Amino acid sequence: MKREVVSVTPDATLREVAALILEKRVGTLPVVDNGGTLVGTVSITDIVKMFLPDFVAVMDEIDFVHDFGNLENASVEDRQRAKRLHVSDVMEEPVAMEEDAGLVHALSVMEKHNLRDLIVIREGKLVGIASQVDIGRAFLTEFTKETGPLYT
């Protein structure tokens, strides 16, 4: 588990978040209040969604659309709106696990929510992020202790 986690507050601008995501090479950032309590997440997808046509959200099949255009063609209004938005305008409900949760629980949560990284909290406060690889390795370590080596 990674304990040094970059997070943002709900009042951060999306432009600041975009720069931080690029700098830190992450896809999702935890959103915490001034007391360090986890209140949400913001991701690349949350930002990109603002530039997709409205009909995309309600369609099951969009293969017939080959090009939505590019950011350079986004309207001035859309660009200005995006610059004014804050994390609190687009953040998602957080999916997290308590620090003392079991490995099977963690893997189940990640599978259910299709996550590669899972936010870890202690009494609501951010303490780290566990990757699918971190949790998978811990699980396999326990598995091999109980049953012996997988290969001989």
pLDDT tens digits for 50-64? 766 555 454 455 555
CA pair distance 43, 14, nearest whole angstrom = 10
Identify the top-confidence range among 10-14, 83-87, 137-141: 10-14
Residue 29 pLDDT > 60, yes or no?
yes
pLDDT at res. 66: 52
Assigned token pair, 65: 């659309």
Using CB atoms within 10 A of its CB, is residue 94 exposed (0-12), middle (13-18) or buried (19+)?
middle
pLDDT more than 90, % of the chain: 46
User: What confidence tier does 148 reach under pLDDT thresholds 50, 70, 90?
Assistant: low
Question: Quick one: which of 123, 106, 89 has its CA closest to 10?
Answer: 89
Residue 85 pLDDT exceeds 70: yes
Q: Out of 3.30.390.10, 3.30.310.50, 3.10.580.10, 3.40.50.620, select the CATH number for domain 14-147.
A: 3.10.580.10
